[in-house]
Amino acid sequence: MAILVKPNTKVLIQGITGSFGARHAQLSIDYGTQVVAGVTPGKGGQFFEYGGQRVPIFDTVAEAAKQTGATASAIFVPPPFAADAILEAVDADLELAVAITEGIPVNDMVKVKRAMEGKRTRLIGPNCPGIVTPGAGKDSHGGCRIGISPGYIHKQGNIGVVSRSGTLTYEAVWQLTSRGVGQSTCVGTGGDPVNGTSQLDVIKLFNDDPETTGIIMIGEIGGSAEEEAAEWIAKHCKKPVAGFIAGTTAPPGRRMGHAGAIVSGGKGTAEAKIAAFKAAGIGVAVTPSEMAETLLRMM
């Protein structure tokens, strides 16, 4: 099994005609993802053609979902328009919206979060690498890749990976795959201060997934997401969890690559997060190169 997306998930891509959206639509098709529609206002009726496939393009998400049965969206829309794109997916009642866009104004995301209250749609991101559920084919092709993660590093298996950092997501996945250990699903939650799905949300889903047998959780300085997840893990998680916190050498007050990775008011420090991990029984990797080994040792 897997969480959130499976090989048969039908995906639409908002912004499929832009250079970035088009490139990753091609890579998702190559991976075996069921890309069934694209959405670009004003280009309805055209087709995105690649690899012998003709993916229809629609003016609206609602129309695309109705015509194709798509239940998930990848959002490659420029920052000034990305919040509206997310809300369009919500209004279309999709199950999942994955916002890859970096640089969405925080105020826009606050409005999005309020508008999503009580709605069916789950948001991953923004400013995230997306989600991958590996398939069973050669090099795990035939799975579902929504976002920008390199497909070839994944292998079907039983380890769940959740991370605020895109690059460290890839590092953990490749470490596992290089050791012959596959993944159930890999989720990048994103590095912005206001996002949709938290690390704790993903941990709960992995905990409930009968075929996920271990979890790697990658955090970073800023915010309290890791401490909240650690507190829940200590009380409820039935599976081994290994973790890593990025930013231990960051100067105080320095804003890092992620807008949410800033320590302010003495909160969100690497030391506090590592202490929370240890108190919860989470295996702490001292360096990124030890993430997979730390979990496998625990198992």
Q: Is 236 among the catalytic positions?
A: no
Q: Give me the architecture of the 10-124 domain, per CATH.
A: 3-Layer(aba) Sandwich (3.40)
- List, by residue range, all CATH 3.40.50.720 domains of the chain: 10-124
DSSP for 84-121, please give it: HHHHHHHHTT-SEEEE--S---HHHHHHHHHHHTT-S-
Summarised one tens digit per residue, pLDDT across range 251-286 is 766 666 666 656 655 557 889 999 999 999 999 999
Global pTM value: 0.94
Kindly indicate whether the domain formed by 155-298 is annotated with CATH number 3.40.50.261: yes
CB-based contact 129:187 (threshold 8 Å): no
Q: Of 24, 141, 154, 258, which one is the catalytic site residue?
A: 258
| Rounded average pLDDT over 175-198 | 95
N- to C-terminal Cα separation, the chain: 20
Summarised one tens digit per residue, pLDDT across range 22-39 is 999 999 999 999 999 999
Positive/negative CA dihedral, 186, 10, 157, 239: positive
- List, by residue range, all CATH 3.40.50.261 domains of the chain: 155-298
User: What helix, strand, coil percent values describe the chain, rounded to 5?
Assistant: 35, 25, 40
Summarised one tens digit per residue, pLDDT across range 147-185 is 999 999 999 999 999 999 889 999 999 999 999 999 999
